[in-house]
Each structure stands twice: as structure tokens, then as C-alpha cells.
Structure 1
Amino acid sequence: MAGSYDDRDGKIWMDGKLVEWRDAKVHVLTHALHYASSVFEGERCYNGKIFKGVEHSQRLRKSAELLDMEVPYTVEQIEEAKYAMLRANGWTDAYVRAVAWRASGEDMGVSAKRNPVRMAIAGWEWGAYYGDAKTKGAKIDIAKWKRPSPETIPVAAKAAGLYMICTMSKHAAEAKGCSDALFMDWRGYVAECTGANIFFAKDGEVHTPLADCFLDGITRRTVIAMLREKGVTVHERRILPEELEGFQQCWLTGTAAEVTPVGQIADYNFEVGALALDTAASYEKLVRA
């Protein structure tokens, strides 16, 4: 599948039924377009099975609650809808995007209690998020923006508005020939990349930022559990930027990123080494089990 995302053949599940791809539209006065009242999930289907799909559906509903919205579908209904969309398009391996938003209605201001919450589920066939970085190692910029304090935003929500600085930072990184950008948090600690969590390795042990002001990714938790099952020590802690110089290996995790080794962050270089490659291979085996 190629071409603009609004002009393709296929089916999208929308508000309880499958519709033609080009007919899946919203009005220009949709509340989410003006006020970012939208939450979403990114998931991958491998060999006909969505990896940790129920956890993603649960998080979608929780994200909506954190934005004072209620998704009008149960977890079970969301799961049924995702698989209906996949079957309708004939996909067994695909990326799945579920999104819920405040629609157009009687309110068109900051307050929108009278507007309905709508939902859609789309998908597409998508390869490696970072291209050949999965074998060569991604090149990462350092963003000028910082992840804000949890006192300012609902950090546990996967909400559209929280990605504004991600888009800007990724554009700036790509202009420098990088694949992504690394954020510090408002205190100056290492946080995450624009759409992926980050891990570091040193002397056989793994270190990853404590998820206290950014999304605790489902892939992040999966990889931590997988490493610990292998007997690898994993430290979830606050990491200072000056520590980057001492780490030997680095990788990113996320539904889109899967497990992608990192070769460089700004002026710091990392080996695409055995632990990073083994983690990537083990994750690939797990999701296709």
C-alpha cells in the first residue's frame, strides 16, 4: 500500500462499522482538531495476532479517562473491531492504529462536554520504523525541548497533544540526518525519544530512565521483563546526560520501533553489540511466538 494516507483502497472501522477508506472523514470543526482532545494506540499484528492487543485497548480507555473522555466501546468490542478491520483488508502482518476523539457537536470551545466521543481503527502494512538502523544502529539528535513535569500534563496518557514537541523535534533531527531525537525531562535527566523509550548497557547490565514523567511503554515493560527472565540486571533509574559517555550499547523500544539499536547520540558513539542485537532478536521471536 502506498500513496497519501487519505487516498487509499481498503477498509477502516469507524464508529461501529467498516467504511471505505476514503469515506473515513471528520468535520473541520471537530473538537480534537482544535483542542487536541484525542488519544490513540499504535499496535502491531504478527502472523494474524496483535501483540498485547488487550493491554493496548485497556490503555486507550485509560488515556481517554485521563483526558476526561469515555470511549464508548469496551475492551472486548475494541478487540473485535481491530480484528474485523484486519480481516476486511486481508492482513496478517500490519500496524494497527486505534484513535478516539471528541467530535464536533453542540460545543465549540475549550469545554466540550456535550460533544460525542468517536472512535476509529485503521491499519497499514509497515516495515522497520527506522529502516536499516535495525542492523546499523540509529543516529539520534538531542532535542531542544524537554519532557514537562507531570504537574503540567497527564503523562500516563497516550494523547495526541503530548506529541507536538515530538513532531518538531523529529523534523529538526531529520534535517541533521538523524533518525530521531532524545528528550531530557524538565529536571535535566534523560527521558525518551519522540516515539520510543531508550535503554543503555554497560558491563553487561542495562539502565533505562525511570518512567516518572513520560509514557511507560508496553514494549518497554515487555523488554524489561524479557531481560530479567534472561538474568540480565535492569536498573530503572534517573540518568544524567553526562552518563551517556560511559555507556557501551544503546537501543530504542516501541511498537513501531520494536527494538532498534542506536549507534550515535549527538557526539556519543555506541557499539551495535551482542546485547542489543540479542534483545532485538529475542523480541522478534517473542512477538511471533
Structure 2
Amino acid sequence: MAGYDDRDGKIWMDGQIVDWRSANVHILTHAIHYASSVFEGERAYGGKIFESRKHTERLHASANYIDFEIPYTVDEIEAAKQEVLTVNGLTDAYVRAVAWRGAGEDMGVASARNPVRLAIAAWEWGAYYGDAKHKGAKLDISKWKRPSPETIPCFAKASGLYMICTMSKHAAEAKGCSDAMMFDYRGYIAEATGANIFFVKDGEVHTPKPDCFLNGITRQTVIGMLEDRQVRVHERHIMPEELEGFEQCWLTGTAAEVTPVGQIGDYNFEVGQMARDISDDYETLVRS
């Protein structure tokens, strides 16, 4: 497959549809140097983006968290996303919207005078974890921890917050794992590098309380699905030593969808019926 900078197709950029290979920015773009960017990852199924408006609203909220305003309304971004799908002839696709501080008068840490830019791309993308939906993903345990809310805008989907996720996933892949689970700054179980995490014990579900990391849209959807099935869900702080007692585990996220986990470090989990049912139900929901 060609690199992401060398493909056929069209990208929406600052209100215009441009050729894929022409969707470029200047080397002195502020976001390249200081990570002043936010983004959304979304999936379209049958031509319809699942929870599209929630993603766009979160994009605006993320920009506000890192102190800039996106110069397009939610409705304008919604229309642009659909235009990208249409012009590229895509129905089942991954959609990436990204907003950033561009090149302008400022090239230090401060960048209030620089324009805010927005681009939207879409492409075909299969299962994020390959065949793990059937076998169960294998996770490493990261040495990096999700930081305190006092140190970062932890509820923004901001590019800079993913630096330790990238390093964690690289380390995991070097060990033959699909991803890494991260603890938070207090030592509680937090999430994977790009997905929320759930556990099952005695027919009930336990998931970390999202008080220092992103409360994912897929996470919220899955909690609603579990409650509809009359499954008790505990959102709470989970200690590492509890891993030994959990029977099942799965990850949730737009890219991950619902992916069962078979192993985290030295701990093994069954790819059980609840994990399979929730994965199947989610697949039905997003295509309904």
C-alpha cells in the first residue's frame, strides 16, 4: 500500500476539495512544532458516519480545551464529511477530521495570531487489530502512565497527548503484541493507547472511571448497550492486582470497534460469550 501522502483521492481542506497529494502544509506550521492540533477518528458504515455529530461536537470541544476556535460550525463540518465520502465514492470508511494552528505571524510557543485550519480525509480501513476480533488481542503493559488532569487537558482529543501512546505501542509491537494497556498517574488501570478497556467478572462489567482520560464515544455506546441487556456496569478505579480475577476483557474505540482481549502481560482472558455478543451487537448497531 502506498504511503498516506501518495494516494489517489480527494481531501477537504479549509473549505475546498483538493487532490490528495496536494493537501500539504508549510514546514513552519505551528502544529508540527508545538502539537497545537486536535482530531477525530470516525467510521462510516453503509455511507453513514456513526455518531457523526457527537464526533464533530467533541472536535470543537477539544479545540477549546487547547485554546483555539475552529472557524467552521458543526453543521459545516458535518456537510464537509459527507462531501468527502461522496467525492471519494466511499461507503464503509474511516474518516479523519483534524484542526490545527497553521503557519502565521507567530513561531514561538504562543500562536494566537496564526490561522486555525481544518482538513477532512477518508479512506478504506479494515479491522484495527487484524484477526484479534476472533482470537483476542495481546496487550503489553506500558511503562508510561496517563498524566494527571493538572498537567494536561486530558479530556481533549489532542495530538500531543498521543506521544506516550505512540511510544507504548511501538514497544508493544516489538514484543509481538497488538497494543499496550496503560495505568494512570495514581497507578490505576486506565486504557489502551487508543481505546478504552472493559473487564468481566461473575457476569458483571467493570471499566475504569474516565477521570483522567478520554471518555470515548464508543465506550459510552457500549455501556448503554450493556445496560439495555440488564448487565450491571461498574465505572470505578481498578487496581492492577485485580487483573488476575477478571474472566473476560475487551477494548472499545472507533478504530478498535469492540475487540476482545486474550492476554495482558502475564494475565490471560477468555474470549467469552459476553465479549462476542457485545461485539456482534455493536456491529449490528452501527449498520442499522
TM-score range, shorter chain: over 0.9
Aligned residue for 2:278, secondary structure, equals helix
Taking the TM superposition and a 5 Å limit, the aligned residue runs for 1:129-278 are 129-278=128-277
Q: Supply the distance in 1 between the matched residues of 2:179 and 2:97 (Cα, whole angstroms).
A: 23
CA distance in 2, matches of 1:74, 1:93: 25
TM-superposition CA deviations, 1:109-152 (whole Å, max 9, x none): 00000000000000110000000000000000000000000000
TM-superposed deviation, 1:79: 0.4
- TM-score, normalised with respect to structure 1: 0.99
Letter in 1 for 2:20: W
The residue that corresponds to 1:91 in the other structure is 90
Superposed CA offset, 1:1-43 (max 9, x none): x310000000000000100000000000000000000000000
| Structure 1 Cα separation of the partners of residues 16 and 103 of structure 2 | 19
SS at match of 2:104: coil
Give the C-alpha shift of residue 158 in structure 1: 0.0
**How many angstroms apart in 2 are the aligned matches of 1:69 and 1:178?**
37
Q: Percent identity?
A: 73
Deviations 1:69-114 (A, max 9, x none): 1000000000000000000000000000000000000000000000
AA paired with 1:204?
Answer: G
Aligned-pair CA distance for 1:270: 0.1
Shift, 1:154, TM fit: 0.5
The answer for the alignment partner of 2:127 in structure 1 is 128
Shift of 1:248: 0.1
The letter for the 2-side match of 1:268 is Y
Counting only pairs closer than 5 Å after superposition, residues 109-120 of structure 1 correspond to structure 2 as 109-120=108-119
Is residue 37 of structure 2 the alignment partner of residue 38 of structure 1?
yes
Q: Which whole-Å CA distance do the structure 1 matches of 2:233 and 2:123 have between them?
A: 34
| Aligned partner of residue 5 in structure 2, secondary structure | coil
Measure how far apart 1:232 and its partner are: 0.4
Match of 1:282 in 2: 281
Count of residues in Structure 1 that have an aligned counterpart in Structure 2:
288
Provide the rounded CA distance (Å) in 1 between the counterparts of 2:148 and 2:168: 18
Alpha-carbon distance in structure 2 between the residues aligned to 1:113 and 1:210: 34
Distance apart, 1:161 and its partner CA:
0.1
Q: Which runs of 5+ in 1 are unaligned?
A: none
In structure 2, distance between residues paired with 1:165 and 1:113: 26
Tell me the secondary structure at the aligned position of residue 206 of structure 1: strand
CA RMSD of aligned residues (A): 0.4
Structure 1 counterpart of 2:86, one-letter code: R
The within-5 A match list for 1:45-84 is: 45-84=44-83
Measure, in 2, the Cα distance between the counterparts of 1:226 and 1:272.
19
Give the secondary-structure state (helix, strand or coil) at the position aligned to 1:201. strand
What is the distance in 2 between the residues matched to 1:204 and 1:126?
A: 33
Residues 185-214 of structure 1, C-alpha deviation per residue, up to 9 Å, x if partnerless? 000000000000000001110000000000
Per the alignment, residue 11 of structure 2 pairs with 12
Matching residue's letter, 1:112:
S
Distance across 2 between alignment mates of 1:214 and 1:66: 13
Give me the whole-angstrom Cα distance separating, in 2, the residues matched to 1:219 and 1:185.
20
Deviating above 6 A after TM superposition, structure 1's stretches of 4 or more consecutive aligned residues are none
- What are the ranges of 5 or more consecutive residues in structure 2 without an aligned counterpart? none
Shift in Å at residue 238 of structure 1? 0.2
